[in-house]
Structure formats: structure tokens, C-alpha cells
Amino acid sequence: MDAEFHWETWRQPLIFLITAGVVVPLFRRLRISPVLGFLIAGAILGPFGAGRLAQAYPWFAHVTIGGGAGAAQLAELGVVFLLFMIGLELSWDRLMRMRRLVFGLGAAQVVVTTALLTLQVGAWLELGPGRALLCAAALSMSSTAIVLSVLSERKRLNRAAGRAAFSVLLFQDLMVAPLLFMVPLLDAKSGPLDSAQLFWTWAPAVVALFVLVAGGRLLLRPLFQLVAAAGSTELFMAACLLVVVGASVASGASGLSMGLGAFIAGLLLAETEFRREIEVTIAPFQGLLLGLFFLSTGAHLDFARVVEAPLVILGFALGLVVVKAAILYVLARAFRLAAPVAREMSLLLAPGGEFAFLMIGAAIAAKIIPDQAGGDLLLVVTLTMTAIPLLGAIGARAPKSRASEEAEFAHLAPASSVADQRVVIVGYGRVGRLVSDMLKRHDIPFVAVDGTPQLVAKARADGVEVYWGDATRPEFLERVGLAGARALVVTMDAPPAVEKVVTLAHAARPELTIVARARDAVHATHLYELGVTDAIPETIEASLQLAEAVLVDIGVPMGFVIASIHEKRDEYRKFLQPHGDRRKETRGIKMSKRVRDMNKAKPEKTGGTA
């Protein structure tokens, strides 16, 4: 081959993959958030770490990560994918029920924090009111990526503090476009914007928002129905990536946050039957790209500047966290949040956020604020962001009453989430539908899964919560609520698929009640070996139902028929699971004895007709 190999093209991706392979397992073993690991690794490998050493020791240049445009764009995609996943966890209905916190608490946080920080920043950097206001607005933002990642890792996103934090972060995301307009307003070279310019600046964003919502509602479900019908995993993955990247690019091109476009796309797909499969497909991309984002964020840490002016940099970083935490706590209490919830939320949102890099960077480029002042602000933001995992851990350990906390936020519970104590039905064909009908009759909640798009669409049109996806993947079973399920019913007609689902479920939860459909007696025996509670062979059950029908039709009392059918079923169960739990084997016999006693006591009420 004549093509020349360029090491520099592959150096940074290789360093990132090696870092991910070391950081994630190491920090998980230490029970520390990998987010902190990526931030520390970025500081060590960045231009202010290994990059400085490369001047004296050139070989350090081979392990240095830079801040190129390509890496920055990939890092931004990490936030985009995270917000898309958050959108999938919500619904329009739940979002409307959160409006008091989103547009009340969120708006109050941005306004009050910006007002108070303007005085602090103006005094520290000796900036005029307008420039100080711009910097304060940037510092009032919190880190959507790190906060949501920490909450997700600690499984606290659906707790009260997590929902309150997300509400504030969502409003901050909505403020991205308006706050970015402050830069040209303060840019002396561009001159003041008149009302016409302001209109044409806002108009594309408003139109794009309408197009995203209206177009998404019309096109997304039909698109995924076509893709799912094709039965190609690669095509489904491509469709997921197209929707996430396409929505974010359309949003960014119109002046809105790229993450906001992805969030809207996720919100629209949250109501569809493809939600769980999309989550499983997108999760690996989200994890890798978020790792790159945290790595690039850590690369902004200039330890030399901290050493030069430790009191100034660390003092302002501490002051920023204290001021924002105090404001958030007071506002949260004013909005009637419980003290432990307010404390955890205020600690999580007190540090700076990634939006400050965009806004302050634009201000530095436009010469609105001096390079040194802007660099110090970015360093302060990065330092505070590295403290988020620690602050989150402190807030989560605060004593609280979970009952009172959850009661306060019960009305915000996601309507489409899979609740605990449901029965999970894998396979929603004729057998699965009959099982669900019986569960409905006894008021037992359930969630169903099937791999046929047309069947799933019809069931959802009838109001049944059914998801399309591949239940033979452990990640998918986890997404549909296996961890909190009351029981698992497997009704698929493909024996290998049934066996794989049973194996995965039993490995994840050995104590779970698993009832599976078997092809015949041999298949049932194998399923018992894999760990099912009960295996129902089609041939045997059909024979027993035929026998029951003929016995009743020729006049044998119903009670005696039921008893004999139970006895026969137990004989088969003993034969199929000779090494099974003896309590299971005797369960049906005891029931049949009770039926016989009932028939002896009241024979006149148990007769049948020919």
C-alpha cells in the first residue's frame, strides 16, 4: 500500500481508549465515580500536565491530549447523548407536571445567582457591570453532564433531589440561547443590536423548536417502525444515531443548545414502543463520549496557575460553591422542598458547568474580557466541576426520611416508567395476551415485550404497555424492570430464545419466579435445569385441557375433574423435575385435595352437563 501512516491521526483516540480501559475499572473497584477519574486523567495528560513536561522531555508529547476542534466536537456529543437519554426517561405529561420547578425554581436560581455573582465577579476581576453580568451568568450555570452522570450512577435520578436538580438544569439548558446573545450585545466592534436584529436572531430558534417538535411527532414513530420491520440491528443503530445527531445539529444551527434538540428528540421517543431498545443501543455511545467530555474538561486544569495564586483561585472557587449552594438552598426551601432534598440539590448544582466554557470562551475571543481573567474563570469552573462527585456523595449521605421525601414528589413519578412489583411478560402473541388478560382480571400490573413491530403497535393502540426489543439481551431485560419484577413469564415460541431469556433472568435474580412456555416434555425438563419455577409444556397442557373438557361434558362433577387434572399435572411436574423443590411438587396435590373435600361436602353444586 502506498498510503502513508500518520501516527498523529491515531494518537489521541488511542490515548483516550487506553485511559477509558484503565480509569473505569480502577475507579469502580475503588467505589469512586469514573467521572472524577476522567477529570484527573485529563489534567495529567492535558497541555498543562504532560504537555508542559514535553518541553523538557520530548517523549511526553506522545502521551499528551490536546484541545483540537475535532476532540471538542466529539466531547460535546457526550452531553448531547446524555440529554437524549434523559429525554427518554421523561414524557410530555411528566414535564408539564414539573413546570413549577422548571420555570419557577429554575428561573429563580438563574436570576438570583446571576445578580449576586455579578457583584462578586466585578470586584474580583475589576470588570464593568455589563462584562461582570456576562461572566456571572456563565457561572450561574451548573454541569448538566457531570451532575446527571453522578445521579445516574448512584441511582438517584428518580429520587426527589435528582428530580429537583434535573428541573433546574433543564431551565438552564433553555437559557443557553438567550445568554449567548449577551456576547454580541457587549461586543463593541459589532455595535448594539436593534429590535430588528434581535428579532432575526430569535426567529430561527423559535421556528427550529416548532419544527423539531412537530416534525418529530409526525416522523419518528413511522421511521422506527420501518427500521424495526427490517430486522437489522445495524440499521436500527444507524437510525438511533441519525435521530440524536440530526436533532442536535438542527437545534445548534438555529442558535439553540445542541443538547436541547437531543432532549426534545428523546422526549418524543419516550412515548413509543421503541424506547427501551433505543436506550440499550445508545448507552455505549453515551458512556464513551461522556468519558471524552470529562477528559477534555480536565485538560483545562492549569495546576501552575493554581500554584502561582492559590489563595485567589482556590478562594474564588470555594466562594462560588458556597454562594451558589446557599442561594439554591434558600430558594429550594422557599419552593417547599424538604431540607435534606434542598441540601443535596444545592450541593450538586453549586459548582460551575460546561456552558461556562462556551460563553466565556466566546467573550475572550471577542475581547470582551481579558485573556488572563477569562483563563482564571475557566480554571475556577473546572476546579469546582471536579468536586461534583464528592459533593454528590456528601449530599446523598445526609440523613433523610425516604417516605416523606418520596411522598412530596409522588406526583412527579414518571408515568411511563416500569414500576417495581410488575410481572414482566416476554412474548406478547396469543399466549402472552391470554396471560395478560388474566393478570388484568386480578389487578396485577405487568409490562410486556415482543419482537414483532406490528403486534406491538396494535397492542399499544389498545392501551397496553408493550415495548419492542430483543429480550435475549441482559441490558434490555434490565431496562424493562427485571430487577424489581414480581415474576417473569416467558411465552416465546422459539425454544433457544426461551432458554436464553431464562438463563439471563435466573443469573440476574436466582430467587425470581420464572414461568416459561415449553415446546414439549423434553424442553420443559431442560428449562427446569436452567432454573425456571414452572415450565408449561404445550403438548401436555393441551392434552389435559382436552381431558378436562370431555370429562365435564359427559357429566363428571367439576370439582372431581379439577382435582384429577391437578393430580395429573403434579405427576408430570415430578417427572419433569425429579431434583426440583419438593414444596413445588406437593403444591398442586394439596390444592386438589381441597377441591375434593369441597365436592364431597357440596356435591349438588359441582355437577356438569353433557
What residue type is 127 in one-letter code? L
pLDDT digits (tens, 9 = 90+) for 36-67: 788 788 888 888 888 777 777 777 777 787 65
**pLDDT mean across residues, the chain:** 80
The more confidently predicted of residues 193 and 323 is 323
Q: Which three cell numbers stand for residue 163?
A: 428530580
Indicate whether 282 pLDDT > 80.
yes
Mean pLDDT across 588-609: 41
Indicate whether 593 pLDDT > 60.
no
Q: Which residue has the cell 436584529?
A: 197
Mean pLDDT across 228-255: 89
- 71: pLDDT confidence band, cut at 50, 70 and 90? low
**What pLDDT is recorded for position 194?**
54
DSSP helix/strand/coil, 511:
coil
**What pLDDT is recorded for position 297?**
74
Max avg pLDDT among 168-182, 423-437, 544-558, 581-595: 423-437
Max avg pLDDT among 73-77, 205-209, 372-376: 372-376
**What pLDDT is recorded for position 186?**
66
- 112: pLDDT confidence band, cut at 50, 70 and 90? very high
pTM tops 0.75, yes or no: no
Share of the chain above pLDDT 90, in %: 25
**What pLDDT is recorded for position 603?**
40
Indicate whether 24 pLDDT > 80.
no
Mean pLDDT across 195-215: 73
CATH code of the domain occupying 423-605: 3.40.50.720
Of the candidate ranges 239-248, 544-553, 587-596, the one whose mean pLDDT is the lowest: 587-596
Tally Cβ neighbours within 10 Å of residue 586. 13
Residues 6+ apart with CB under 8 A from 157: 89, 148, 151, 163, 166
| C-alpha to C-alpha distance for 60 and 43, rounded to whole angstroms | 14
Share of the chain above pLDDT 70, in %: 82
Residue extent(s) of CATH 1.20.1530.20 domains in the chain: 76-397
| C-alpha to C-alpha distance for 272 and 224, rounded to whole angstroms | 9
**What pLDDT is recorded for position 354?**
77
Residues 6+ apart with CB under 8 A from 581: none
Burial of residue 202 (number of CB atoms within 10 Å: 0-12, 13-18, 19+): middle
Query: Does an H or E element contain 193, and which?
Result: none
Mean pLDDT across 171-184: 72
Q: Which CATH class is domain 76-397?
A: mainly alpha
Residue extent(s) of CATH 3.40.50.720 domains in the chain: 423-605
Indicate whether 70 pLDDT > 70.
no
| C-alpha to C-alpha distance for 305 and 310, rounded to whole angstroms | 8
Of the candidate ranges 192-201, 304-313, 567-576, 582-591, the one whose mean pLDDT is the lowest: 582-591
Mean pLDDT across 176-196: 60
Look at residues 360, 89, 83, 86 and name the one whose alpha carbon lies nearest to residue 248: 83
pLDDT digits (tens, 9 = 90+) for 134-166: 889 999 999 887 888 788 777 787 788 888 998
- 349: pLDDT confidence band, cut at 50, 70 and 90? very high
Contact (CB, 8 A) for 35 and 42 = no
pLDDT digits (tens, 9 = 90+) for 523-580: 888 898 898 998 888 877 777 778 878 888 888 888 888 888 878 777 777 777 755 4
Between the two ends of the chain, the Cα-to-Cα distance in Å is 86
Residue 256 C-beta-side C-alpha neighbours within 13 Å: 27
Mean pLDDT across 437-464: 92
Mean pLDDT across 302-310: 80
Indicate whether 455 pLDDT > 70.
yes
pLDDT digits (tens, 9 = 90+) for 480-524: 989 889 999 999 989 999 999 999 999 999 999 999 999 888 888
What residue type is 164 in one-letter code? A
Indicate whether 402 pLDDT > 70.
no
**What pLDDT is recorded for position 594?**
44
| C-alpha to C-alpha distance for 225 and 235, rounded to whole angstroms | 12
Of the candidate ranges 170-179, 306-315, 384-393, 397-406, the one whose mean pLDDT is the lowest: 397-406
**What pLDDT is recorded for position 180?**
66
**Phi, psi values for residue 449, rounded to 5°:** -135, 140
**What pLDDT is recorded for position 68?**
52
Max avg pLDDT among 79-93, 111-125, 292-306: 111-125
Contact (CB, 8 A) for 142 and 168 = yes
* DSSP label at residue 338: -
**What pLDDT is recorded for position 67?**
54
| C-alpha to C-alpha distance for 297 and 314, rounded to whole angstroms | 18
Mean pLDDT across 75-88: 80
